[in-house]
Amino acid sequence: MKKRVVVGLSGGVDSSVAAFLLLKQGYDVIGLFMKNWHDESVTISDECPWLDDSNDAMLVAEKLGIPFQTVDLSKQYQEKIVDYMFNEYEMGRTPNPDILCNREIKFDVFLKIALKLGADYVATGHYCRKDMIQKKQNKYFQLLSGKDPNKDQSYFLCQLSQEQLSKTLFPIGKLLKSEVREIAKKEGLITANKRDSQGLCFIGKVKLPDFLQQKLKPKEGHIVEIPKTFNGYQNQKIDVSKLKMELAFKSKKHCYTKQDGKVVGIHQGAHYFTKGQRKGLGVGGTTEPLFVIDTDVNENVIYVGLGKNHPGLYRHGLLVKLDEIHWVRPDLKIKNGESLAVMSRIRYRQKLEKATIYLTDSGLYVIFEHPQSAITEGQFVAWYLKDELIGSGVIS
């Protein structure tokens, strides 16, 4: 009897080709479109109208001759993703809704719906690969980078569990994007030349302040420029003998007060800004662009630095709290007091950087060989061994 796969048809070329490849491999394929968002007042023009995407997904299913239906998950999306986003921004952190969407919606709520439809697996159009290894009596699923280095999306799946991976297929993970488009053209799929969707998972490109203003009201405050000569930057090369002290020191964020710099402008709410941001400050007349180096939502102050090499943007390390550490490969978990040399990234599309992870009773420290720009609280750090993503956590 054929194995059944429910494909998350998004109306894009990647999921369309994923469905085609599974059919070709002999699976019993069903296409499901997830409707997760209703409010188009915050989206930019027609960047991601769900109605068009749903229609394209239906036409692809028709062309492939597979059953198709739409499921409305907007209530779950509001509760699990949107409310979480508002809460994080309000606390001055910058969430990653795409990672949460994969963990909480696509590979949880959606997976459960698929299993009720008798599915053996769910499949998506992610550019990553899955493998399996046997260790003694146990099987472990591996989450591997996609073959296309420019499209590798393993980072977005960094919170998946062994249980979720066991029920998941990634049919296009071994292909380049150009090959995926070629297959779509050859098969006459309507999505062959469709642009990749941008912006938030299922919402599309949004005017972030407009989106956040639904719950977080504008509140005028100062923009303070911190000079490169700020005292707090002078002690970066201190030789701290005790490892734990050194880890905490390398991961410590810089702390500023308004007295450390000069007021250069006014903003409409510190919770609308994130570290490393350059646009939207509305401060002109500087010799180099200003970058956000920190935000203080309690005092409603944005701290900025001149130029992309400003020392306030850079840190050697970060901390993940104990309850926010996630091991995709639980068998590779390190114990308290142990360390492991890994490759790591703190954002999508960032090249993997050499780092060492240390587990302590304070949490897991990730210390990079080279300082990293705009390490941002609320975002996710993921760590790899070669091309396998083995764990991740929320930057505290």
Structure tokens at 303: 């701290």
Q: Is 101 a catalytic residue?
A: yes
**How far is residue 218's CA from residue 331's CA, in Å, rounded to a whole number?**
47
Exposure letters 312-340 (e unless 16+ CB within 10 A, then b): bbbbbbbbbeeeebbbbbeeeebeeeeeb
CB atoms within 10 A of CB 79: 11
Query: Which residue carries 């599974």 as its tokens?
Result: 22
Catalytic one of 48, 101, 128, 158: 101
Instruction: Report helix, strand and coil shares of the chain as percent, to nearest 5.
Output: 30, 30, 40
Classify residue 242 as left (phi > 0), alpha (psi -120 to 50) or beta: beta
Q: Read out DSSP for 37-74? A: ---GGGB-TTSS-HHHHHHHHHHHHHHHT--EEEEE-H
Q: Give me the catalytic one of 48, 128, 158, 201.
A: 201
Query: Comparing C-alpha atoms, which of 245, 232, 383, 386 is closest to residue 315?
Result: 232
Which tokens go with 254?
A: 């810089």
Q: Could you list the active site residues?
A: 101, 201
